[in-house]
Chain A
Amino acid sequence: MYPEEYRYTKEHEWVHVEGDTGTVGITDHAQHELGDIVYVDFKYGRETLKPGQHVDQGKTIGSVESVKAVSDIYCPVSGHVVDLNHTLADAPEKLNEDPHGEAWLVKIRLSNPGELTNLLSAAEYQTYIGAEK
Chain B
Amino acid sequence: MRYLPKSDSERREMLEACGVESPEDLFAHLPEAVRLKQPLQLPPGISEYEIVDYFRRRGDENANGYASFLGAGVYRHYRPVLVDTVVARGEFLTSYTPYQAEISQGTLTTIFEFQTMICQLTGMDVANASMYDGSTALAEAALMAARLTSKGGLLVARSVHPEYQEVLQTYAKNQGMPITEFDYDPETGAADLDDLERKLNDLTAAVILQSPNFFGVVEDVKRAAAIAHRRGALLAMGFSEAVSLGILEPPEADIVAGELQSFAISPSYGGPYAGIIATREKFARQMPGRLVGETTDTHGNRAFCLTLATREQHIRREKATSNICTNQALIALMATVFMSVYGKQGLRELAEQNLAKAHYLAGKLKPRFSGPFFNEFVVSTAQPDAVNAALLDKKIIGGLPLGRFYPELSDAMLLCATEMSRRAEMDQVAQALAGGGAV
A41 partner residues in chain B, CB cutoff 8 A: 285
Tell me the chain A residues, 64-117 only, with Cβ under 8 Å from chain B.
Answer: 65-70, 72
CB contacts under 8 Å to B, within A16-61, are 39, 41, 46-48
Distance from A2 Cβ to chain B, minimum over Cβ atoms (Å): 27
Most chain B CB within a 10 A radius of its CB, from A47, A68, A70: A70
CB-contact partner of A67 in B310, B311, B316, under 8 A: B310
Interface residue from A47, A48, A66 paired with B310 (Cβ < 8 Å): A66
Do A47 and B311 touch across chains, with their CB atoms under 8 A apart?
Answer: no
A67 contacts across to B, CB distance below 8 A: 310
Distance A39 CA – B307 CA, assembled complex (angstroms): 13
Asked whether B310 lies within 8 Å of A68 as measured between CB atoms, the reply is yes
Whether A70 lies near B285 (C-beta < 8 A) is no
Q: Which of B285, B311, B319 contacts A72 (CB 8 A)?
A: B319
- Which residue from chain B places its CB closest to the CB of A65 in the assembled complex? B310
For the complex, what is the distance from the CA of A46 to the CA of B146, rounded to whole Å?
Answer: 9
> For B316, what are the chain A residues with a Cβ–Cβ distance below 8 Å?
70
Chain A interface size range: 10 to 19
Against A, the Cβ 8 Å flags (1 = close, 0 = not) of B263-276 are: 00000000000000
Bound together, the chains give a CA A103 to CA B316 distance in angstroms of 24
Chain B residue nearest to A47 (CB atoms) is: B150
Contact B315 A70 (CB under 8 A): yes
Give Cα A70 to B152, complex, Å.
Answer: 24
Within 8 A of A (CB), among B294-336: 310-311, 315-316, 319
Chain B neighbourhood of A70, CB < 8 A: 310-311, 315-316, 319
Provide the bound-state CA to CA distance between A46 and B316, in Å: 16
Q: How far is the CA of A66 from the CA of B88 in the complex (A)?
A: 38
CA distance A70 to B316 in the complex (A): 7
Kindly provide the distance from the CB of A1 to the nearest chain B CB, expressed in whole angstroms.
27
- Within 8 Å by CB of B285, from A39, A47, A68, A69, lies A39
Do A69 and B315 touch across chains, with their CB atoms under 8 A apart? yes
Cβ-closest chain A residue relative to B321: A70
Q: Which of B64-87 contact A (CB under 8 A)?
A: none
B109-159 residues with Cβ-Cβ distance < 8 A to A are 146, 150, 152
Q: Which residues of B contact A66 (CB under 8 A)?
A: 310
Q: Which A residue sits closest to B176, measured CB to CB?
A: A46
Question: Measured between alpha carbons, how far is A48 from B311 in the docked complex, in Å?
Answer: 17
Q: Cα distance A63–B321 when bound, in Å?
A: 12
A66 to B146, CA, bound (A): 24
Residues from chain A with Cβ under 8 Å of B315 in the complex:
69-70
Q: Contact mask B281-301 → A, CB, 8 Å, 1/0?
A: 000010000000000000000
A65→B146 CA distance, assembly (Å): 21
Compute how far the CA of A124 lies from the CA of B199 in the bound complex, rounded to whole angstroms.
57
A96 to B178, CA, bound (A): 41
- A72 to B310 Cα, complex, angstroms: 12
How many angstroms from the CA of A67 to the CA of B315 in the assembled complex?
12
For the complex, give the distance between the alpha carbons of A82 and B285 in Å: 26
Contact status B310-A69, CB under 8 Å = yes
Instruction: Give chain B nearest CB distance to A121 CB in angstroms.
Output: 30
Shortest distance between the CB of B144 and any CB in chain A (Å): 13
A62, B310: Cα distance in complex, Å: 15
In the complex formed, the residue of A with least CB distance to B151 is A46
Hey, which chain A residues are within 8 Å of B319, CB to CB?
A: 63, 70, 72
User: A46 near B150 (CB under 8 angstroms)?
Assistant: yes
Chain A min CB distance to B25 (Å) = 37
| Cβ distance B55 to chain A, nearest Cβ, rounded Å | 50
Residues of chain A within 8 A of B310, CB atoms compared: 65-70
Given A46-B152, A63-B319, A70-B319, 17 more pairs with CB closer than 8 A: A39-B285, A41-B285, A46-B146, A46-B150, A47-B150, A65-B310, A65-B311, A66-B310, A67-B310, A68-B310, A69-B310, A69-B315, A70-B310, A70-B311, A70-B315, A70-B316, A72-B319
Chain A interface residues toward B at CB < 8 A: 39, 41, 46-48, 63, 65-70, 72
Jot down 10 A-B pairs with beta carbons below 8 A, ordered by A: A41-B285, A46-B146, A47-B150, A48-B150, A63-B319, A65-B310, A66-B310, A70-B315, A70-B319, A72-B319
